[in-house]
A and B are shown apart, each in its own frame.
Chain A
Amino acid sequence: MANSYNDIPEIKFHLDNPMMPHIVELKERGFADKDQYDYAPQDFEDAMDTYDKVLEVVGDINANIIAPNAEAVDAEGPHCENGRVSYAEKTYENLDATNKAGLNGMTMPRRYGGLSLPVIVYTAANEIVSAGDASFENVWSLQDCIETLYCFGTEEQRQKYIPRICAGETMSMDLTEPDAGSDLQSVMLRATYDEAEDCWRLNGVKRFITNGDSDVHLVLARSEEGTRDGRGLSMFIYDKKNGGVNVRRIENKLGIHGSPTCELTFKNAKAEICGDRKLGLIRYVMSLMNGARLGIAAQSVGIEQAAYEEALAYARDRKQYGKEIINFPAVYDMIATIKAKLDAGRSLLYQCARYVDIYKALEDIARERTLTPEERQEMKKYQRLADAFTPLAKGMNSEFANQNSYDAIQVHGGSGYMQEYKCQRLYRDARITSIYEGTTQLQVVAALRYITNGTYMSVIQDMEGVSFGTAEQPLDPQFQPFADRLVAMREKLEEAIEYVKTQDNQDLLDFCGRKLYEMTAYTIMCHLLLQDTQRAPELFGKSLEVFFNHAESEVARHFSYVHLMTPEKLEFYK
Chain B
Amino acid sequence: MLNIIVLAKQVPDTHNVGSEAMTPEGTVNRAALPTVFNPEDLNALEQAIRLKEQHPGSRITMLTMGLPKAAEVLREGIYRGADEGILLTDRALGGADTLATSYSLAQAIRKIGKVDIILCGRQAIDGDTAQVGPQVAEKLGLPQITYTEEILECDENHIRCRRHIDGGVETVEAPMPILVTVNGSAAPCRTRNVKRIMANKRKEFTVWGAADIEADPQQIGKAGSPTNVKAVKSIVFKAKETKTLTDSDEDINSLVRELIESNTI
A residues near B (Cβ < 8 Å) are: 38-41, 46, 49-50, 53-54, 57, 60-61, 65, 97, 100-103, 115
Is there a chain A Cβ closer than 8 Å to B196's Cβ? yes
Contact A50 B197 (CB under 8 A): yes
Specify which of B190, B195, B196, B199 lies most central, judged by the most chain A CB atoms within 10 Å of its CB.
B195
Is there a chain A Cβ closer than 8 Å to B29's Cβ? no
Q: Contacts of B196 on A, CB cut-off 8 Å?
A: 102
Interface residues of B in 194-214 (CB under 8 A from A): 194-199, 201
Contact B199 A39 (CB under 8 A): yes
Is there a chain A Cβ closer than 8 Å to B23's Cβ? no
Is there a chain A Cβ closer than 8 Å to B193's Cβ? yes
Is there a chain A Cβ closer than 8 Å to B191's Cβ? yes
Q: How far is the CA of A57 from the CA of B194 in the complex (A)?
A: 7
Q: List 15 A-B contacts (CB under 8 A).
A: A39-B198, A39-B199, A46-B201, A49-B201, A50-B198, A50-B201, A60-B191, A97-B190, A100-B190, A100-B191, A101-B193, A102-B195, A102-B196, A115-B195, A115-B198
Contact A41 B191 (CB under 8 A): no
Interface SS of A by simple majority: helix
Q: Contacts of B191 on A, CB cut-off 8 Å?
A: 57, 60-61, 65, 97, 100-101
The count of residues in chain B whose C-beta lies closer than 8 Å to any C-beta of chain A is: 11
- If A97-B191, A100-B193, A102-B194 are given as contacts, then 9 extra A-B residue pairs at C-beta distance below 8 Å, sorted by A number, are A38-B198, A50-B201, A53-B194, A53-B201, A57-B194, A57-B197, A97-B190, A100-B191, A115-B198
A208 CB to closest chain B CB (Å) equals 32
Q: Contacts of A39 on B, CB cut-off 8 Å?
A: 195, 198-199
* A56 (CB) vs chain B CBs: closest residue: B192
Q: Contacts of B192 on A, CB cut-off 8 Å?
A: 53, 57, 60, 101
Specify which of B191, B192, B193 lies most central, judged by the most chain A CB atoms within 10 Å of its CB.
B191
* A47 (CB) vs chain B CBs: closest residue: B198
Q: Contacts of A49 on B, CB cut-off 8 Å?
A: 201
Q: Contacts of B190 on A, CB cut-off 8 Å?
A: 97, 100-101
Contact B198 A103 (CB under 8 A): no
Specify which of A39, A40, A54, A115 lies most central, judged by the most chain B CB atoms within 10 Å of its CB.
A39
Q: How far is the CA of A100 from the CA of B50 in the complex (A)?
A: 12
Q: How far is the CA of A57 from the CA of B192 in the complex (A)?
A: 7
Q: Contacts of B197 on A, CB cut-off 8 Å?
A: 50, 53-54, 57
Specify which of B190, B198, B199 lies most central, judged by the most chain A CB atoms within 10 Å of its CB.
B198
Contact A103 B194 (CB under 8 A): yes
A189 CB to closest chain B CB (Å) equals 37
Q: Contacts of A65 on B, CB cut-off 8 Å?
A: 191
Q: How far is the CA of A115 from the CA of B199 in the complex (A)?
A: 11
Contact A41 B194 (CB under 8 A): no
* B16 (CB) vs chain A CBs: closest residue: A1
Q: How far is the CA of A50 from the CA of B200 in the complex (A)?
A: 11
Q: Which 10 A-B pairs have the closest CB atoms?
A: A39-B198, A39-B199, A38-B199, A100-B190, A102-B193, A102-B194, A54-B194, A102-B195, A39-B195, A53-B197
* A54 (CB) vs chain B CBs: closest residue: B194
* A98 (CB) vs chain B CBs: closest residue: B191
* A42 (CB) vs chain B CBs: closest residue: B202
Specify which of A46, A65, A100, A101 lies most central, judged by the most chain B CB atoms within 10 Å of its CB.
A101
